[in-house]
Amino acid sequence: MIFDRKEKAMPDYYYRHILDITPEDIRNMGAEAVAVDLDNTAVFFGSFRLEEGVREWTRNMMRSGIKVIIVSNTLNGRAFILSRQMCNVGFVALSLKPSPRGIEIASRRLGVPVEKIAMIGDKLSSDILAANRAGAIAVKVENLRYVYERETSLPKYAATAATVAAAAAVISVLK
């Protein structure tokens, strides 16, 4: 079989965190709408509380004329609860990513062609593949958990480094 470009799990854009993506970035991608994954992108896996800042991020997108919709594989009830915290945006739950179906439904609901939708998600094997299969713009973010663990462990490393430096100073004095 000839390699099918749509079957690639490679993103068009890459960001550390959803909050790093600006409305200008979205417009520069040629997009008019964003489809947002929930787990490990906008919320910790299985959580019912939206990640801090995502509500404001959503409001900022919408104020800038970018449409926002949730496209998640989670259950309807949980997507509903999280959408309430996310400025009441619409949602497609049980989207069956990596199937392109959820993004296609989002496209019809928003009235925005799929090629003008930026799918934002953490997983190559679901979000990014679904985006490419649908013909949407694939935007990869890092898994929230990894971003969080790395950044909260920085002070710990700094403390360790300070201890080592202090010990070295003591040793040099004793010499």
Residue ranges in contact with Mg ion by CB under 5 A: 37, 39-41, 122-123
Which SS3 state, helix, strand or coil, does residue 102 take? helix
Q: Based on CB atoms, which residue is closest to Mg ion, 39 or 104?
A: 39
Tokens of 66: 């970018």
In three-state secondary structure terms, 123 is coil
Of the two residues 53 and 65, which places its CB atom closer to Mg ion in the complex? 53
User: Is the peptide bond prior to 100 cis by the omega test (within 30 degrees of 0)?
Assistant: no
Q: Which is nearer to Mg ion, 48 or 173 (CB)?
A: 48
| 22 and 15 Cβ atoms separated by less than 8 Å | no
120: left (phi over 0), alpha (psi -120 to 50) or beta: beta
Cβ of residue 39: shortest distance to Mg ion, in angstroms? 4
Minimum distance, C-beta of residue 63 to Mg ion, in the bound complex (Å):
25
Q: How far is the CB of 108 from Mg ion (least distance, A)?
A: 23
